[in-house]
Amino acid sequence: MPTLFHLSDLHFGPKFNARVSELVLQDILNTKPDLTILSGDFTMRGRVEEYEQARAYIEQIPPPRLMLPGNHDQPLYPRAMWERVTTPWARYQKYIHATVDSCVEIPGVYAVGINDNRPILPGGFWSQEQRAWMTREFARAERGACKVLAMHHQLNWNNKRRPFGQWFPTAHLNWLKTLGVELVLNGHMHIPVTIRSAQGIVLAQAGTSMSTRLRHGHNNAYNLIAVTPDEIRVRIMEHDPQQDKFLPRGEHVFPREKRD
């Protein structure tokens, strides 16, 4: 039974919570997940020192790891604006991962991470080249494997337009359904939400794992996901400030559709 540890929005920088980061790392080491997925926003402003701190932290997480950038991982301060326009992912590729799109295969799971960020426009986009790449990658998955897509922006807008999520979410979900995707992971909103879309795809959004940029009364959180041949189980783990540890806040169980 593969176990996935999904965290997002680390935001190394001035809003980083070092104490909570220690608790998250200890939970990872204790859980020993089969795959750790980090769905973007490793830094706050894409500064070199933030990336150095993020890399030192990530190196403590045992592989395999699936990582992809978030909108905050592009340089965002006056002296770096030209770099943001011309080479927005150079620092990410130097300090975090050599490519912005990648995949990891473990027994029972085929996970694809896609960079859906753009330097200027808000929200998430996929290029035609990325769509072709995803089609090829998911076609390689073994029969019966759970196909997982990880990205930064949300497909579940929940009738809200800020902060921006993936553009044209219904069309994207319809297309992902044709690829056999069963689970989509994202961050960005700093709010943990898990639902099943009308297309039958489980959408699991992680809260911010270790930033003080908390929203709407939610504490720091991450997702612990178990995949069996029959179901996908998403447990939301949220930090309890009184007990100073992460505790289960809710669990969602979704039957997997039978496939030929």
Question: Residues 89-109: pLDDT tens digits?
Answer: 999 999 999 999 999 999 999
Give domain 3-255's CATH number out of 3.10.400.10, 3.30.460.10, 3.60.21.10, 2.20.25.90. Answer: 3.60.21.10
Q: Is the pLDDT of residue 211 over 80?
A: yes
What is the tens place of the pLDDT at every residue in 113-159? 999 998 888 889 899 999 999 999 999 999 999 999 999 999 987 65
188 C-beta neighbours (distance < 10 Å), count: 28
Q: Where are the beta strands (DSSP E) in 145-244?
A: 146-150, 181-186, 193-196, 202-205, 221-227, 231-240
- Smallest CA-to-CA distance from 102 within 75, 55, 137 is with 137
Note the pTM of the prediction, 2 decimals: 0.96
